Structure 1
Amino acid sequence: MTTRQSQPGSRSKGRVTLSDVARMSGVSAMTVSRALNEPQRVSEQVRERVEQAIDALGYIPNRAARSLAGSRSHTIAVVIPSVSNAVFNNVIRGIYDVCAPAGYEMLMGNTYYSVQQESSLISKFLTHHPDGMIVTGLDMADSTRRQLEAAAIPLVQIMEVGTSAPLDMSVGISHSEAGGAMARYMLERGYRRIGVLGAQMDYRSQRRIQGFIDVLAEAGLADVKRVLTTAEPSTVRLGGQLLADLLLANPDLDAVFCCNDDLAYGAIYECQRRQIRVPQQLAIAGFNDLEGSACINPSLTSIQTPLYDIGKTAAQMLMRRLAGEVLQQTVVDLGFRLQARDSA
């Protein structure tokens, strides 16, 4: 395991209060309370000033109206992009295996890969005042970033590292490096007319594909006509459809990299329907190395990502911070492994 060092730190900034909003908007705390709870009792001008202050400060109304400073809810909020994706099932299991024995419950939310849904979900979760939060990815809306900064709770951003500094802590892998590693492997195996398939196209998929293409470009073998992506949700069926479309435009392909294993399974099935031998006529590779990747015939070459360990490490980092520990390593790169099998 490799780790990336960052400066020791803790979320020392206090939680934004009603009084902070009152000071910024130039009214009393009682007026701010009325603007929030009985908006019809204050003027439109005052409401606008209060709303602007709330947005600027990232203020979170305290639904539980907690009166004791430092009280604990013993809940951890977890925000993921898909509850149906097998990738996140393993991550969630890792989180649960740490949090449950420590007496913490999980608030689970699904963003459906939407930045707007993520912002709304995080805002709602913060009103429950969780003791800590785990959020997927390093990219988020500015308004969400402000709210999380103002909440002043331990936060771990999971699944990736290396693209930007986290708000607090992060654990994952470099997707661009992983994509590049697969490209170098394919080039070393002698493949030259290499296609790329991508779906969903969240930030992590984009980075692994870009890392792959960058290595091809260095070798003078990148070709935009051999890249086919869609924002549609990733499925096995879609993998077959995308490969069919890619082969129609590029019948001379000798290899294809799929941004995840689901697409790769579909691509292999499409090859079988067309009686294209894998890998003799067309090599196929995927990403994430799901359980079925070793079982499919031919077995799938893929990038193995430490999904369970990402969840487990993120939860352990939260528990240590909640225990008052200042972490010396707040960015943890768990690395990846290229699992070579029969398909490429």
Structure 2
Amino acid sequence: MADTPDRPRSRSSSHVTLDDVARACGVSPITVSRALRGARNVAPELRARVQAAVDQLGYVPNVAARALASARSSHVAVLIPSLTNQLFVELLEAVQDALSPHGFQSLIGVTHYDPAQEEALLRSYLSQRPAGLLLAGFDRSAAARQMLEQSRAPCVYLMENSNEPGVHSVGFSQQDAGRAIVEHLLQGGRRRIAYAAGQLDPRVMMRLEGYREALRAAGCHDPALELLEPGPTSLALGGRQFEDLLARHPDVDAIFYCNDDLAQGGLLAALRTGVPVPQRVAIAGFNDLGGSDQMLPPLTTVRTPRREIGERAAAMLLALMRGETLVQRRVDLGFELMVRQSS
């Protein structure tokens, strides 16, 4: 039986098209397209009617055709260094929550802190003409920077800030945060403060610079107390670093770990070996990851606004994709020092 305008066509006989949805709603195809993209000039009642027709008919947008017609897709490329780090998972959830009501979906790429992997991901995703990009940090290869420039796709950078003209960023100062937590340890009377780090990505090294600034200002910086390991961070690594530092430098009275998983491992090692925290050695972390406030003792750390970063960056990118000119290109969301019993 042939399809008629008032009868939904069988999914087995042919694909439901944008025209079918438009006929069902009594509007033009371009109005349906605008409603599905979340355009602000479409009334909420009409948007709801379009969505009801989409659900009834089982319409699935042809993303490839839309990209060819408009030179942009409904996808946003989001490149992050890791999915094993809780902070990036929270950031991704915030980005998706902000983008999906406007008809955009995330193309998620994991770079594993490898510029070559990021370059390959960018080449693949840019070939799909994404509507925009969200990228973690500013450290990337010259080839990747050239691809981004030539693509002309709107781009917002996450976790760090830049004053460079034309660059849009949402983050906070990693260096200031590192300095602040070390100053807290200094105010508590600690003088032999170690820095224990893994992964050694640019943000970890910025925290290291903040650590150095605070200790140099206090006249007690000792490069021998910097324990920097390139491998991934973990509870096991943090525990081993704790034992190594106390074995090599028995006078260490505080350890600033670059990430909370390392600091949690350090607290577990202290408990296992009978080293009292904070009486013998204070321990501080970074990022305020889940469980840090439940450690024994609860962990002093820096709370970073990763969900807020995801929300604000997505909002900024949506504005750029609409062609708006933003007065504020650089958003600094700051950080919060969480002082608990470990220090």
Question: What's the TM-score once normalised by structure 2's chain length?
Answer: 0.79
Specify the code of the residue in structure 2 equivalent to 1:310.
Answer: I
Residue equivalent to 2:91 = 91
How many angstroms apart in 2 are the aligned matches of 1:167 and 1:261? 34
Give SS of 2:194's match.
strand
- Do 2:71 and 2:129's aligned partners in 1 also have CA atoms closer than 8 Å? no
Residue equivalent to 1:109 = 109
Q: Please identify, of 180-189 and 167-176, the stretch whose mean Cα deviation from structure 2 is larger.
A: 167-176
Give SS of 1:144's match.
helix
- Do 2:285 and 2:300's aligned partners in 1 also have CA atoms closer than 8 Å? yes
How many angstroms apart in 1 are the aligned matches of 2:188 and 2:291? 24
Q: CA deviation at 1:71?
A: 3.9
How many angstroms apart in 2 are the aligned matches of 1:220 and 1:251? 20
How many angstroms apart in 1 are the aligned matches of 2:306 and 2:339? 18
How many angstroms apart in 2 are the aligned matches of 1:113 and 1:132? 21
Q: CA deviation at 1:66?
A: 5.8
Unmatched 5+ stretches in structure 1: 1-62
- Computed over aligned residues only, the root mean square deviation of the Cα atoms, in angstroms, reads 1.6
Q: CA deviation at 1:72?
A: 3.5
Bigger Rg, which one: 2
How many angstroms apart in 1 are the aligned matches of 2:187 and 2:340? 15
Does 1 or 2 have the higher relative contact order (CA < 8 Å, sep 6+)? Answer: 1
Kindly provide the CA deviation profile for residues 61-100 of structure 1, in whole angstroms up to 9, marking residues without a partner as x: xx989653x4441110000000111010110011011011
Specify the code of the residue in structure 1 equivalent to 2:275.
Answer: I
Unmatched 5+ stretches in structure 2: 1-63
Kindly provide the CA deviation profile for residues 283-312 of structure 1, in whole angstroms up to 9, marking residues without a partner as x: 000000112111111100001100100111
Q: 1:274 to 1:130 in 2, by over 3 A?
A: same
Specify the code of the residue in structure 2 equivalent to 1:92.
Answer: L
Kindly provide the CA deviation profile for residues 170-190 of structure 1, in whole angstroms up to 9, marking residues without a partner as x: 110110010011111111111
Note the 1:291-310 alignment, pairs <5 A: 291-310=290-309
Residue equivalent to 2:151 = 151
How many angstroms apart in 1 are the aligned matches of 2:171 and 2:205? 16
Residue equivalent to 1:130 = 130
How many angstroms apart in 1 are the aligned matches of 2:300 and 2:113? 26
Q: 1:75 to 1:65 in 2, by over 3 A?
A: closer
Residue equivalent to 1:183 = 182
How many angstroms apart in 1 are the aligned matches of 2:274 and 2:247? 15
How many angstroms apart in 2 are the aligned matches of 1:103 and 1:332? 25
Q: CA deviation at 1:280?
A: 0.8
- Do 1:64 and 1:128's aligned partners in 2 also have CA atoms closer than 8 Å? no
How many angstroms apart in 1 are the aligned matches of 2:225 and 2:71? 56
How many angstroms apart in 2 are the aligned matches of 1:151 and 1:227? 41
Question: What's the TM-score once normalised by structure 1's chain length?
Answer: 0.79
- Do 2:66 and 2:73's aligned partners in 1 also have CA atoms closer than 8 Å? no
**% identity of equivalent residues:** 40
Moved over 2 A (4+): 63-68, 164-168
Across the two proteins, how many residue pairs are aligned to each other? 280
Q: 1:315 to 1:66 in 2, by over 3 A?
A: closer
Residue equivalent to 1:253 = 252
